[in-house]
Amino acid sequence: MVDDKDKNKNVDANQEEDSGRRKFLKNAGVFTGGVVGAGFLGGVIGHNWWDDSDSATETKTSPDFSEARIFFNRREDFNVLSWATERIFPEDDNGPGAILLGVPYFIDKQLAGSWGKNADDYMLGPFKDGEQTQGFQSPLNRGEIFIQGIREINKVSNKKFKASFPELEEDQQNEVLMMFENGEVDLKNVSSTRFFGLLRQATLEGAYADPLYGGNRNMDGWRMKEFPGAQSAYINEIEEEEFIKMDPISLSDYNK
Per CB under 8 A, does 13 bind other proteins? no
List, in order, residues 6 or more apart from 80 with CB less than 8 Å away: 150, 151, 153, 154, 164, 165, 166
Per CB under 8 A, does 124 bind other proteins? yes
Per CB under 8 A, does 186 bind other proteins? no
Per CB under 8 A, does 17 bind other proteins? no
Per CB under 8 A, does 180 bind other proteins? no
Long-range own/partner contacts, residues 151-160 (CB < 8 A, 24 or more apart): 151/77, 151/80, 152/180, 152/185, 152/187, 152/192, 153/80, 153/84, 153/177, 153/180, 154/76, 154/80, 156/180, 156/185
* Contact with other proteins (CB under 8 A) among 9, 92, 186, 256: 92
- Count residues near other proteins (CB under 8 A): 64
Smallest distance from other proteins to CB 91, Å: 9
Nearer to other proteins, 116 or 166 (CB): 116
CA distances from 12 to 4, 16, 27, 155, 201 (A): 11, 11, 26, 43, 28
Binding site for other proteins (CB under 8 A): 1-4, 87-90, 92, 94, 115, 118-124, 126, 128, 130-137, 174, 177, 181, 200-201, 203-205, 208-210, 212-213, 221-222, 224-235, 237-241, 243-244, 251, 254
